[in-house]
Structure 1
Amino acid sequence: MKLSKLAMLAALACGLTAGQAMAGNGTIAQVGCFSDSCDSCDPCGEITCGCEPVGCDLGCDSGCDSGCDSLGCNLGGLGLCGDCCHDDPFTLFGEYGGISVGGWLQMGYHTAALPLFNSRPDEVQLHQAWLYAEKAIDTSCGFDIGGRIDYIYGTDSQDTQAFGIANDHWDNGWDNGADYGHALPQLYVEAGYGDLSVKAGHFYTIIGWEVVTAPDNFFYSHAYTMYNSEPFTHTGALATYNATDDLTFYGGYVMGWDSGFEDNGDAFLGGISAGLTDNLTVTYATVGGRFGDGNINRVDPGPPATVGRGENGYMHSIVADYAVSDNLQYIFQSDLLDTEDIDGATVRDTFGINQYLIYSINDCWALGTRFEWYQADAGVFNTDNDVYAWTSGINYKPNANVIIRPEVRWDWVDGDPTGILENDDDDQFTFGMDTIFLF
């Protein structure tokens, strides 16, 4: 799971965190509960859902219903404003003996092809049919041991397989046609004592802010940086040390990028996450060393840039997560990737800046926008390019088990657009929408 997801916002509402939860499942949880009662001089009347009201005047005459009824408040039960507080999600399997089992289904549709998971335009596709089993460790009373396994089927699977070595090892050969397939992106054990824990096996990277798991992202589509310049998975060992409530260190050894239980490199994976203020958390994560032996086979618009040449280098991601208010979250991310082959020639040279604004109205509704500048000087596209993408979207949760994410996206290229956008156009508008069913 990526590091910035470990930084938890301070504001709590209805037992859930504001904006996007920074730990665990990353479920979108919005701030804002309104009482329907204004028949007393207690501001906003009785607060039935157990959290402080947001957006209420302090006077009863213009209290909780102010500004809602005039807008048609719930708009046919959509919960756009007013009392919208969800209970915990319903689970099919639940927890038994400390082991929790669950998953989700993600289905989506988009109007244009993007080289970023969304590869099948103008058709409804199953992106992720996901199952997991996990025993989370609890070191509050001393030593504990646990682990996790994840399985995915869908069009996102081939980009989640261990494609770092093109010899069909681990799950890389589990394809079902051109786009569909299976993957086992995580299989690890974890042990901990006190403030120190170590996981060993096959696990998701700690690099960056966006992740593969659909419920942990605000947007349906993905950033160029996440897809082209960051690893998805590692195989190795990673230690986590919580020095204080506001300071966490990470460090470990991994066998390259996006590979299963087979040697594909020698690299250090680590970082630091620091809560600098009550509202600001900054995370630095890095991976450096030998990333692969030259057989990278990710499904992307261009040929594998490193076949037969090896790849050594350095990559880091810096993420600043700032709670502007109880309802507004701002994320700034900068990624740098610089690698060479065995002869010292550049293999990949990229730099990117992503910015996010996420406004949480209540448990039902959140609004978000993302702007990305991605500079790919070498190794990703056919030529040197600057690619820009602006995305705006909505998250609607009619209940705790369903997330609906419509969005509009505009991509444009400064350089040669060949192999980047659909029909090799200079720019492209895309409408997309997906639905996630948690269970």
Structure 2
Amino acid sequence: MNVVKWTMGCALIAMSAGPALGQSAVQTAFNYDLTGYECGEPACGCEEPSCGCEDAGCCDSGCCGDSCCGDSCCSSCCCDSGCCLGDCLGDCCLGDPWALMDCIDPCGCCSITMGGWTQMGYHSDNTRLSFQPNDLLAFNDQPDRLNLHQQWLYIEKVAEAGACSADWGFRFDIMYGTDAQKTQSFGNDSPVWDASAGFDHGSYGWAMPQAYVEVASGDWNVIAGHFFTLVGYEVVTAPDNFFYSHAYTMFNSEPFTHTGVLATYSGLDSVELYGGWTAGWDTGFDQAFGGSTFLGGFSTSLTDDVALTYILTAGNFGLRTAGADGYSHSVVVDATLSDSLNYVFQSDLVSYNDTASGGAGGAQVGINQYLFYTMNDCWAAGARFEWWKSDGIVAADDSTSVYGLTYGLNYRPHANVVLRPEVRHNWLPAETAFGAEFDQTVFGVDCILTY
């Protein structure tokens, strides 16, 4: 899970969707803020103009959003300051997003908050490697139709403790949509929590991916219950990802949820430590095959612009390993290359002996690379290149590499709305255990409304 906040301008997601539950121990990916990017008074009610050339004295207060002010002097110094591209894309003064709590608690006095989002999208083809469309076993698995992916609501109280004080909190999430079967406790041994068949309605269903209590004291934070994993960079919650689709590594080689206890210690300089116990992978208040794993790791700032996160799970994964012991880790390096450019490297490894397949050993490994370019508060572009390989896990004799290249945009016409069009190309180099040679191009676009 990415630790460094990627600053892209507008406070669209983090301010309205809130922290993504179990991720609160590390971070909420893609937190947007307005740091260093203000607008002129006529466009957003700000007191100061912000074409980047105020010191030159050639801008008036009405310049913001007017194609670099529409003034040759100001246009010149705007471009010199590096903000011309964003300004010339149009007026991008989004202002503050609306939140559900604005109606419930307009004075901001209540420590309990509520929020959520609605995600709808279309994608032209299924991207699951098994070539079995509509099997409900992967994200974006209902092609060529408009889907309600996530109708999400949460309620939470964040535990906020000072150096000499303690506090408590909680979080509960519920969602409905085509992403439900991927978000439920599918690692359960019995129909407990949201793993019951009554939670599904065809390709749609319900899920309760988080339900935990939280205690904080000094530099310690502890959550207990059902929560999202720390593993990986991409996450289940749609507003916290740049891309509409997910990497193969994310939905093949990472857990989504856990049931257990997780502690975070932040008393060291530039380092956070994580450690806890879980009942295996993807369980909801259940323990399949005696699942018992350690979940932990650390995040640290290597420099002012580079952060490293290492998260591991070790032990009996439960249903995933049919009671066998295994090991997995995720390494994420997040580098800020400039004010507008961000690079992310992620590598995952999963290894275990699958007793359900006669004790055959196997491993999965993946490498994902991301590059994001922020044009202004409204526009950002991104690319993702991925390689994922499975040896002996999908099938006893398989050795499969799959590749993917995704290009996408994020466009924010409003502080509460983001559109995410993308083009994704997937391919296998040769015939494998999955089937014949695979070459596919998928177009997708979704819209997320946060509140």
TM-score (norm 2): 0.81
Q: Deviations over 1:64-108 (max 9, x none)?
A: 37899999966xxxxx35x52333321123456201100000000
CA distance in 2, matches of 1:65, 1:47: 18
Code of the aligned partner of 1:104? W
Query: Could you tell me how far 1:40 is from its partner in structure 2?
Result: 7.1
Partner residue in 2 for 1:107 = 120
Q: Which residue of 2 aligns with 1:370?
A: 384
Of 287, 294, 298, the residue aligned with 1:272 is 298
* Structure 1 gap ranges (5+): 75-79, 297-305
Contact 1:364 1:396 in 2 (8 A): yes
Aligned to 1:301: none
| Partner amino acid, structure 1, of 2:385 | F
8 Å contact from structure 1 (residues 34, 56) kept in 2: no
Counterpart for residue 121 of structure 1? 143
Aligned to 1:151, which of 150, 168, 174?
A: 174
1:361 and 1:13 mapped to 2: Cα distance?
Answer: 9
SS of 1:159's partner is helix
Determine whether 1:64 maps to 2:78. Answer: yes
2:258 to 227, 234, 241: 234
Separation of aligned partners in 2, 1:142 and 1:281 = 29
Q: Give the Cα–Cα distance (whole angstroms) in 1 for the partners of residues 343 and 71 of structure 2.
A: 26
Shift of 1:142: 1.4
When residues 277 and 167 of structure 1 are mapped into structure 2, their CA distance, relative to the original with a 3 A threshold, is: same
Give the Cα separation in 1 of the matches to 2:352 and 2:32: 35
Return the match for 1:254 from 249, 257, 278: 278
RMSD (Å), alpha carbons: 3.5
Is 1:243 equivalent to 2:293 in the alignment? no
Counterpart of 1:391 in structure 2: which amino acid? T
Residue 358 of structure 1 pairs with residue 372 of structure 2: yes
Describe the SS at the equivalent of 2:329.
strand
Offset of residue 226 of structure 1? 0.5
Find the counterpart in structure 1 of residue 227 from structure 2.
203
Q: Secondary structure at the match of 1:215?
A: helix
Aligned residues: 408
Summarize deviations over 1:378-404 as a string: whole Å, max 9, x none.
Answer: 223683210000000000011110010
Alpha-carbon contact 2:59-2:69 (below 8 Å) kept: no
Match of 1:406 in 2: 421
Offset at residue 8 of structure 1 (A): 3.0
Residues 41, 206 of structure 1: alpha-carbon distance in 2 compared, 3 angstrom cutoff: closer
Alpha carbons of structure 1 residues 413 and 33: separation in structure 2 relative to 1, 3 Å:
farther
User: Alpha-carbon deviations, 1:126-184, whole Å to 9, x = none?
Assistant: 10000000101111261010010010110101011101125222111244334211010
What amino acid sits opposite 1:317 in the alignment? S
- Could you say if the C-alpha distance between residues 57 and 392 of structure 1 is closer, same or farther in structure 2, counting changes exceeding 3 Å? farther
- The yes-or-no answer on 1:189 pairing with 2:213 is yes
Counterpart residue number, 2:158: 136
Measure, in 2, the Cα distance between the counterparts of 1:166 and 1:48.
63
Provide the residue aligned with 1:329 in structure 2. 342
8 Å contact 2:354–2:362 — kept in the other structure? no
Kindly indicate which of the two structures has a greater share of residues assigned to helix.
2
Counterpart Cα distance in 2 of 1:47 and 1:284: 47
SS in 1 for 2:56: coil
Structure 2 CA distance for aligned equivalents of residues 72 and 250 of structure 1: 39
Question: Retained in 2: the 8 A contact 1:14–1:49?
Answer: no
| C-alpha contact 1:41 1:60 (8 A) present in aligned 2 | no
Identity in percent: 46
Equivalent residue, structure 2, for 1:318: 331
- Cα distance, 1:258–1:207 mapped onto 2, change above 3 Å: same
Measured in 2, the distance between the counterparts of 1:323 and 1:69 equals 18
1:431 has 2:438 as partner: no
Out of 278-287 and 424-433, give the one that drifted further: 424-433
Distance 1:259 1:216, change over 3 A: same
Aligned to 1:164: 187
Cα distance in 1 for residues equivalent to 2:402 and 2:345: 18
Query: Aligned residue for 2:43?
Result: none
The CA deviation at 1:345 is 2.7
Paired residue for 1:299? none
Larger deviation, residues 397-406 vs 27-36: 27-36
Aligned position for 1:284: 310
The change in CA–CA distance for 1:49 and 1:289 in structure 2 (over 3 A counts) is farther
Structure 1 distance, partners of 2:387, 2:71, is 41
Q: Distance in 1 between matches of 2:309 and 2:69?
A: 32
Q: Give, in whole Å, the separation in 2 of the partners of 1:71 and 1:360.
A: 10
Native 8 Å contact 1:340 1:348 kept in 2: yes
Is the Cα contact below 8 Å between 1:329 and 1:359 reproduced in 2? yes
Give the C-alpha shift of residue 425 in structure 1: 5.3
CA distance in 1 between partners of 2:86 and 2:188 (Å): 57
Distance, in Å, in 2 between the alignment partners of 1:100 and 1:49 is: 38
Give yes or no for the alignment of 1:221 onto 2:245.
yes
Q: Deviations over 1:35-59 (max 9, x none)?
A: 6788976366368899xxx999996
Partner residue in 1 for 2:204: 180
Q: Matches of residues 3-18 of structure 1 in structure 2 within 5 Å?
A: 3-4=1-2, 6-8=3-5
